[in-house]
Amino acid sequence: MRFLTNILALGLKELRSLAADPVMMVLIVWSFFFAVLADAQGASDLVNNASVSFSDQDQSRLSRHMKSALYPPYFQTPGEIAAPDIDRAMDMGEVTFVVEVPPGFERDALAGHRPELQVVVDATASMQAAQGSSYLVSTVSGEIAAYLAPGTVAQVPVDLALRRAFNPNGEDTWFYGILALMDNLTIITIVLCGAAMLREREHGTIEHLMVMPITPIEIAVAKVLANMGVVLLAVTLSLQFVIKGILEVPVAGSEGLLIAGTALYLFSAAAIGIFLGTLARSMAQFALLVMLTIMTMMMLSGGQGSVEAQPDWVQAFTWFLPSRHFLEFAKSVVFRGAGAEDLWPEIQAMAGLGLAFFLASLAMFRRSMSIAG
């Protein structure tokens, strides 16, 4: 009973300290509301609003057909550019794509001479350039084929039917919104717990705690549970009002299971934060450790690229990252509608890793307290 009473008192103290820190409160609100919206709506693997111009030296009906086939949201309405101005426009970054139509293009095409078009691409925007080139070539080629042979359908040996599972319309905001929420809860949990440990040391209150009738495990558990509760509340509100409300991302599975899995993962992330906060001797050291840890977790967990595309030794290392298992858990619940019976490996991995990280952080914390004493 005394154990629980001490944890409750220390947890309330932690919440009061957090509430008195306006910078942290603003960071939490920003991370779970505005940052999620910005990441979901600002990031995209698709071509969007790409600038394109035509250097039309043919001024034929076919060239006008090609221009009319390019329209928003993939491309801006095509503009006109003179051939001598192309290099200057590219150097100034005024246009991403330029289609050069040579004189007599329609005449040669109708005569079967296979004339050539030139597409000039500003490849400094690598993703937009790569995807946009494919879109542009496919659209223009299709328009030329339809113009030269109206009403005909190309005969191919295979009829390929594409069906998207779990995201039929290919909405980027669905994935990027969930990914932003997952990344931000990792960052905020690690920062809150680590900063809480450093705050005790920098304010000199760690010595006060040492002379009180409380144990290191009570201090660690109180900090983990208090910060977990704050982040879990923020995640729940963000899920309801931002993910489901504003972004309109449907949750195919159980929201209760998703929140429970999130709480389990937060235990792991909080333990990592306690460990880093105990290991660091200053806020500057802690910031460097957090950058190294969080960047590694975000890059290798499967959010920014497939785990299967990584080298074999890296894939083996990712099994020790709780973020990998949580990301797979969250995607399975939100998009595939998976239940707990389907996700036992991820649940067990998160629980096991969380316990291991917590025991390691507790051992480090006890050691630091004994040294300080």
In order, the DSSP letters of 129-175 are HHHHHHHHHHHHHHHHHHHHSTT-----S-------SS-TT--HHHH
Amino acid at 368: S
What is the set of domains in the chain, with CATH numbers? 2-43+168-372 (no CATH), 52-148 (3.40.1710.10)
The predicted structure's pLDDT at residue 206: 62
59: burial class by Cβ within 10 Å (0-12, 13-18, 19+)? Answer: exposed
Work out the angle at residue 223's Cα, subtended by the Cα atoms of residues 368 and 287, and round it to the nearest 5 degrees: 65
Query: What pLDDT sits at residue 153?
Result: 47
Any idea what the Cα angle at residue 79 is, between residues 120 and 87, rounded to 5°?
35
Q: How far apart are CA 308 and CA 298, in angstroms?
A: 15
Q: What is the pLDDT along the chain (373 residues), one digit of tens a residue?
A: 777 887 888 788 888 888 888 888 898 999 899 888 888 876 666 677 788 889 888 888 888 888 888 888 788 888 898 888 888 888 887 888 898 988 988 888 888 888 888 888 887 766 677 777 888 888 888 888 888 776 544 454 556 667 777 777 777 788 888 888 988 999 999 988 888 888 777 666 666 666 667 777 887 888 888 889 999 999 999 999 999 988 888 888 899 999 999 999 999 999 898 888 888 888 888 888 888 888 888 888 877 777 777 888 888 888 898 999 998 899 889 888 888 888 899 999 999 998 998 888 888 877 776 655 5
What pLDDT, on the 0 to 100 scale, is given for residue 233? 93
Taking each continuous run of H as one helix and of E as one strand, the counts in the chain are 15, 4
Give the per-residue pLDDT at 44.
61
The secondary structure of residue 309, as a DSSP letter, is: G
The reported pLDDT for the residue numbered 208 is: 64
